Amino acid sequence: MKKFLIALIISASIFNLGKVEAVEPYDVIRQEVSYYNHSEKEIAWISMAILYAAEQCQIDPMLITAVMETESAFKFNALSPVGAVGLMQLMPSTAKMIGVDPHKPLANVVGGAIYLKNQLDRFSGNGAYALSYAIAAYNAGPQAVINANGIPHIAETQNYVVKVINNYNRLQQMLRG
């Protein structure tokens, strides 16, 4: 029986090679959010907010989704022990610097995207390390990355970078189908 199922799966994949269906970013984001959140209204809102912020900041929506998933597991009222707030876990000082109210959900998502874009731009000259450095800066602050000349030797930040990149790669794979 097991060999039959394996043969069936292989046959199905061979015959469907030319029929790869495009997956929309909204569908991938929605699927990811629904894993954590079971409110249809909130799932749709978060998915659209991510797409809106991505468009406004010219960032891959899968990256915003990966950061948000790692930061808050898509919880509107997330609050960290150090005071980070909301879906994108903005520190009040960061939100103030960007000019957003971190307690307002859309401002939080857009503010997080702006801050992420700032880090992507700041570390863009670091070649293959640019994304990792930007993600580390989102977590630990850009000065920590600059001082360490790379990802800081902080276990939380190192684990954070791995989680975000793993989530991001998985989401991109889902998008490709």
Catalytic positions, written as ranges: 71
Beta bridge partners of 136: none
Classify burial at 100, counting beta carbons within 10 Å of its beta carbon; exposed 0-12, middle 13-18, buried 19 or more: buried
Cβ 112 vs Cβ 49: under 8 Å = no
Cβ 106 vs Cβ 49: under 8 Å = yes
Cα dihedral sign, 135-136-142-145: negative
Tell me the C-alpha distance between 124 and 59, whole Å.
13
